Amino acid sequence: MSIIEAIEQSHKSMIEGRDIPWLLRQWVERCPEKPFIIWEPFDGKSQTFTYAGFSALVEQVAAGLVKNGVAFGDKVLIHLDNSPEFLISWFACAHIGAVAVSTNTRSVARDVVYFAEHANIVAAITQPSYAKLVSSSAPRIKFLAVTDNDAGAPANIPDEVPHIPFANLLAETAPCPARNAEPFADLGVQFTSGTTSRPKAVLWTHANAIWGAQMNVAHMRLRHEDVCIAFLPLFHTNAQSYSMLSTLWIGGTIVIQPKFSASRFWDVARRNKCTWASTIRFCVSALLSQDPPPDHSFRFWGTGIRIPLVEETYGIKTLGWWGMTETITQGIVSDMDHAGPAVGIGRVSPGFSIDIRDPDGNHVKPGERGLLYIRGIRGVSMFKEYFRNPEANAKSFDADGWFETGDYVRMDENGDLFFGDREKDMLKIGAENVAASEIETVVMETGWIQECAVVGQKHSMLDEVPVVFVIPKVTAPDDLKDAIIGVCKKNLADFKVVRDVIILDDFPRSTLEKIAKNELRERLPAIEA
């Protein structure tokens, strides 16, 4: 047996006989009355769900899904903001072997139509504010279940939307027996922009989730008594894997908020004695503008890069890391016990191999910037596949199993890694990766433009915001700037809407007459929020 084969066998043995329903049952049996989820809505009272109580709700909704025609392997769209209903629905799908397709609730109609059709969904679960959108975007599904609230705020379901109340799923009393664990059964789909204009459907197995949960815990030195606060969206890997699955693996407690709120953060965190959080630069910047509370319980924050200012201001360790939906956990992570350099992202995580290459595919030297490749085991430490996208699967992995991440990094002489930038046509807007070509397509579809280019303008809170440079046609309207922004608002999620429209006579060009986007970026001053 080769070394590679031995490593693969070791990884697979870690998850044999285990899946997500198995993991939840472990804690129901061992500590049934321990709080698993504490829900802290902005409207209404907080709620606590013990492991036993949460599991009972999951089994009821699982039975309700089966009664309404959902079977093993079926895809169910979960289009919900952070809420107990999101987690109950996600676990209910796992319980019966259905696949939870969790989608960005900031998406517009054209996105949801694509999600529903590409994933072949048979049913959907949403909330009143999105009910009309989901209903019109997925007209051929078996049913649409709608909650009676919007992330805790009471809301009415539009009369014209055909649906069943989510409460009907919860009311199902027929037993829903546990399945035998199937680690390599499909578990979930998340759509990621990747480096193309249409999002790719990243497919996880139960083995992926079990592996990711274990590795997250090891990276962060988590303990059974830890309490996580989660405010990033649950449809995304960060909250779903880093926060929720980690908590489940240790039998810990997770405090869920509808979204990030700087004014509410410390009150909720202190009241629940939260010990850790996975966060992003935008949230950290907002919190650093406040006076640090003297009595918090935080041990660390996962922040993407090490931030000494947080450590000095709050006495909270910061963990640098890098990961993506395709890696489930952090493929690169800093060490809790041995702080690396400031703004570093850490070192390669156990279970992965990395390679850093120049544009010609050659290994770069220490200190040089290069494209990051990562290798793991498909369906365990790496995602199973891009669902219904053989072209993307073939393009993303080379013959030796190396996955091209599209991100650039630099390794110093000591082996510490630093984030370079994203592939040239990707924008990093807050926590979202956005393909410039998606925005460019919408702008070109107006018919007013000869040529356009979207680039990211540096932003102190959001990392980047999109700006479009255009060469207009002579028939373009006089109010071209406002008109383009209006079209973007109608056809794109709010974070993808361009902040500015800059009119040019011609573009700077590079080889083969390509637009020199680097020169366009240099024309834009950074925005200080």
* Strand stretches in 56-169, DSSP E: 75-79, 99-102, 121-126, 143-146, 149-150, 153-154, 164-165
Rounded distance, CA 102 to CA 80, Å? 8
Task: Give me 406's structure tokens.
Answer: 């599209």
DSSP collapsed to 3 states, 231-285: CCCCCCHHHHHHHHHHHHHHCCEEEECCCCCHHHHHHHHHHCCCCEEECCHHHHH
pLDDT band at 359 (very low <50, low <70, confident <90, very high): confident
Q: How far is it, in rounded angstroms, from Cα 522 to Cα 529?
A: 19
**156-173: average pLDDT:** 95
The residues that bridge with 304 in the sheet, in sequence order, are 320
pLDDT-derived band of residue 4, with 50, 70 and 90 as boundaries?
A: low
In this prediction, residues 481-500 reach a mean pLDDT of 96
Q: Residue holding tokens 């956990």? A: 329
Q: Give the range among 166-175, 214-223, 427-436 with minimum mean pLDDT.
A: 427-436
pLDDT, tens digit, for every residue of 36-90?
Answer: 999 999 998 999 999 999 999 999 999 999 999 999 999 999 999 999 999 999 9
| 511 band by pLDDT with thresholds 50, 70 and 90 | very low
CB atoms within 10 A of CB 215: 27
Q: What is the mean pLDDT of residues 178-182?
A: 93
Predicted pLDDT of residue 348 = 97
Fold entry, domain 426-522: GMP Synthetase; Chain A, domain 3 (3.30.300)
Question: For position 172, what pLDDT does the model report?
Answer: 85
The one-letter amino acid at 145: A
User: Is residue 413's pLDDT more than 70?
Assistant: yes
Pairwise CA distance, residues 124 & 77, whole Å? 4
Q: What is the pTM of this model?
A: 0.86
| Residue whose C-alpha is closest to residue 30's, from 330, 242, 250, 294 | 250
pLDDT at site 441: 86
- pLDDT attached to residue 149: 98
- Residues 254-278: tens digit of each pLDDT: 999 999 999 999 999 999 999 999 9
- The 10s digit of each residue's pLDDT in 88-118 is 999 999 999 999 999 999 999 999 999 999 9
Mean model confidence pLDDT for the chain: 93
| Mean pLDDT value across residues 193-208 | 84
What pLDDT, on a 0 to 100 scale, did the predictor assign at position 8?
64
Residue 512 is predicted with a pLDDT of 47
- For the chain, give every domain's residue range: 426-522
- Tokens at 489, concatenated: 């608002």
pLDDT of residue 13 exceeding 80, the answer is no
Position 513 scores a pLDDT of 56
Q: pLDDT at residue 354 above 50?
A: yes
For residue 288, the model assigns a pLDDT of: 87
User: What pLDDT is attached to residue 326?
Assistant: 98
Q: Which residues, in sequence order, are bridge partners of residue 464? A: 458
Decide which of 291 and 158 is more confident: 158
Rounded Cα distance, 307 and 315, in Å: 11
Average pLDDT over residues 211-215: 97
* pLDDT tens-place string over residues 319-336: 999 999 999 999 999 999
Confidence band of 421 (pLDDT split at 50, 70, 90): low
Amino acid at site 203: L
**Average pLDDT over every residue of 147-166:** 97
Q: What is the pLDDT of residue 191?
A: 96
pLDDT recorded at residue 248: 99
Residue 318 in tokens:
């910061």
